[in-house]
Each structure stands twice: as structure tokens, then as C-alpha cells.
């Protein structure tokens, strides 16, 4: 299936960024994360592959500083996708390698020409990292 040019361009840009990037389509399916994200998520994208919304929100379940699960709708990428607005938050995840990491996450909706919804993008980094 052909991908919209805007998603192709974000993926291309993401592959050259030093900042971790996570890209989902309009259904919330994870379609790409870059090499910088692989270190924090605990697995190379070409090994993990695309993940459904339910799969990635379970695999990278967000928790607050006390270890309590964060509601799905409070995750910045979900807010950007569903509410079509930028969002930011700090939370813990357990990567696919089993390591717990505290992340700062900023997400924004992705639109095509004429305001067509194309998904959302999250940029993130390990909290406290230089």
C-alpha cells in the first residue's frame, strides 16, 4: 500500500535525526522508529517491525513515577493522534530489553495537504540525559 509523501518524508528525516522519533499512522499503528529510538526502546525497528496500537501501548506501557499505569489517553502520542494537538509528558517505560527508562516525550499530529490526517509523531529522550 502506498504511503502518503508526508509520512515518507518524516521517516526519511527521522532516519537522520539524533533525537529518538516514533511515527504512527491514523489508526495508531507504529510504522517507524529511528535508530536513536532503538537504544531507548530496547530493540531495532527492523527486528520489532510495525506494531498495532494495542501492541505498542502494551509493550511500552507508560507508568508514573510511583509505578502506576498512565491512562492511554494521557500518553502524548495518543493525545496528538486523537485530539490533533501537541502534547508533552514525562513517564517511565520498560523497553523490549527489560530496562526501565524515564522519558520526556513531545508529540504532535501529522497532517497532509488540505488538513488530511496522517498520524502523529513523537520525539523523546531519556530524562536527565545530556
pLDDT tens, position by position, 54-68: 999 999 989 998 999
Q: What is the mean pLDDT of the chain?
A: 93
Pick from 3-7, 55-59, 66-70, 96-100: least confident? 3-7
Confidence category of residue 115, pLDDT binned at 50, 70, 90: confident
3-state secondary structure the chain: CCCCHHHHHHHHHHCCCCCCEEEECCCCCEEEECHHHHHHHCCCHHHHCCECHHHHHHHCCCECCCCCECCHHHCHHHHHHHHCCCEEEEEEEECCCCCEEEEEEEEEEEECHHHCEEEEEEEEEECCCC
Half-sphere exposure of 8 (CA within 13 A, CB side): 5
pLDDT at 13 over 90: yes
Q: Read off the pLDDT of each residue in 69-77 and give the average, rounded to a whole number.
A: 96
Domains of the chain: 5-126 (3.30.450.20)
Q: Read off the pLDDT of each residue in 87-97 and give the average, rounded to a whole number.
A: 95
pLDDT at 36: 96
Predicted TM-score (pTM) of the model is 0.91
Amino acid at each position: 500500500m502506498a504511503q502518503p509523501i508526508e509520512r515518507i518524508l518524516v521517516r526519511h528525516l527521522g532516519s537522520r535525526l539524533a533525537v529518538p522519533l516514533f511515527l504512527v499512522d491514523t489508526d495508531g499503528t507504529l510504522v517507524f522508529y529511528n535508530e536513536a529510538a532503538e537504544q531507548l526502546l530496547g530493540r531495532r525497528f527492523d527486528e520489532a517491525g510495525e506494531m498495532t496500537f494495542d501492541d505498542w501501548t502494551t509493550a511500552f506501557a507508560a507508568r508514573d513515577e510511583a509505578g502506576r499505569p498512565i491512562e492511554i489517553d494521557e500518553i502524548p502520542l495518543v493525545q496528538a493522534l486523537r485530539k490533533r494537538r501537541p502534547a508533552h509528558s514525562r513517564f517511565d517505560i520498560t523497553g523490549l530489553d527489560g530496562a526501565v527508562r524515564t522519558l520526556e516525550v513531545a508529540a504532535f499530529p501529522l497532517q497532509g495537504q488540505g488538513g488530511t490526517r496522517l498520524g502523529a509523531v513523537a520525539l523523546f529522550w531519556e530524562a536527565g540525559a545530556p
